[in-house]
With several copies, the nearest count.
Chain A
Amino acid sequence: MAVRVQAEAFDHGAEVAAFGQGGRDTGAVVTFLGIVRDDSGRMTAMEIEHYPGMTERALQAIEAEARARWDLTDCLILHRHGRLAPGEPIMMVATGSRHRAAAFAAAEFLMDYLKSRAPFWKKEIGDDGAAWVAARDEDEAALSRWQPKG
C-alpha cells in the first residue's frame, strides 16, 4: 500500500514488478498509466501544480475508501508534479486482488476520484502561450456511478 507524490520520473515496469510481492493470493493486477498527451502538436511542456500536504491527505483518503470497498491485496497511487514533456508518464495507479472484477473496479474508482478530488492542476505550455486545462464535465459525472443509488 502506498501513496507517492513526487517530481521525479518513475518506472512503471519497476513499480509493477515490486507490486503485490510476498503474497500468493494476488491473481489480478490492474494498472493505469497516465501520459502527457499533446493534442495540439504544439505543446512543449505540461506543468503540474499541487497542494502539498492536502494532496497526500486526499490520495490517502481515496485509497482507504477503495480498500474499504474492495478486497485488495495491494494498492499504489503515484502522481508527479512539476514540469513534464509530452510523452512522459504523469501518474499511475495499480490495484491487486484475487479476481479481476475487484482490481478493475478499484482502479477505475481510484482514477475517477483522483481526477476530481485530488488537488492537482495541469497547465499546458506551448509555443504560443500557456493555458490551464479545464475540468471536464464527464470527470465530475464519472463520480456518480460510485455513489449509493437512492
Chain B
Amino acid sequence: MTIDILYFAWVRERIGLPRETVETAAPTVAALVDELRAREERYAAAFADLSALRVALDQDMAGFDAPLAGVREVAFFPPMTGG
C-alpha cells in the first residue's frame, strides 16, 4: 500500500524532510518504524527512542501497535508543546 509519512519538529530535522510517500506492506506502525530504521542512519537516529515519539494515523493519535490497514497518512513527532 502507499502511505504518506509526515515528520514534525526534531523528527523532521533529524530525518531531513517534512514528508515522503512510501510503499510498504507493514501491518503495524511498529513494523513500519522497523522498515524506516533499516533504511539509513538518520532514520535509525530519529526512531532510536520510541518513548520520545508520538504517532498519528490519519490525523488521530494512535499507538505504535496500531494496524496500518486502510491508513493513508502516518505522522511521527515528539510530545506536543503548544499553548
Binding site for B on A (CB under 8 A): 34, 48-51, 53-54, 57-58, 79, 90-91, 100, 111, 114-123, 132-135, 139-140
Contact = CB atoms under 8 A, between A and B. Distances in A.
Contacts of A139: 83
Contacts of B77: 51, 119, 121
Given A121-B8, A132-B9, A57 B59 contact: yes
Q: What 8 A-B pairs come out closest when comparing CB atoms? A: A120-B82, A135-B79, A54-B59, A121-B9, A115-B83, A133-B81, A122-B81, A118-B82
B75 interface: yes
30 contacts: A49-B9, A49-B12, A50-B82, A51-B6, A51-B56, A54-B59, A58-B59, A90-B83, A91-B83, A114-B82, A114-B83, A115-B80, A116-B79, A118-B82, A118-B83, A119-B75, A119-B77, A119-B80, A120-B81, A120-B82, A121-B77, A121-B78, A121-B80, A122-B81, A122-B82, A123-B9, A132-B10, A132-B81, A135-B80, A139-B83
Interface string B9-40: 11010000000000000000000000000000
Interface residues of B, number: 17
Contacts of B12: 49
Main secondary structure of the interface of A (DSSP, over half): mixed
Contacts of B69: none
A119 B78 contact: no
A12 B65 CA distance: 42
Given A132-B9, A132-B78, A120 B83 contact: yes
A111 B10 CA distance: 24
Contacts of A114: 82-83
A142 to B, nearest CB: 11
Contact of B82 (A79, A100, A123, A134): A79
A138 B28 CA distance: 30
Given A49-B9, A119-B56, A132-B10, 19 more contacts: A34-B83, A48-B82, A50-B82, A51-B8, A53-B59, A57-B60, A79-B82, A91-B82, A91-B83, A118-B83, A119-B8, A119-B77, A120-B80, A121-B80, A132-B9, A132-B78, A135-B80, A139-B83, A140-B79
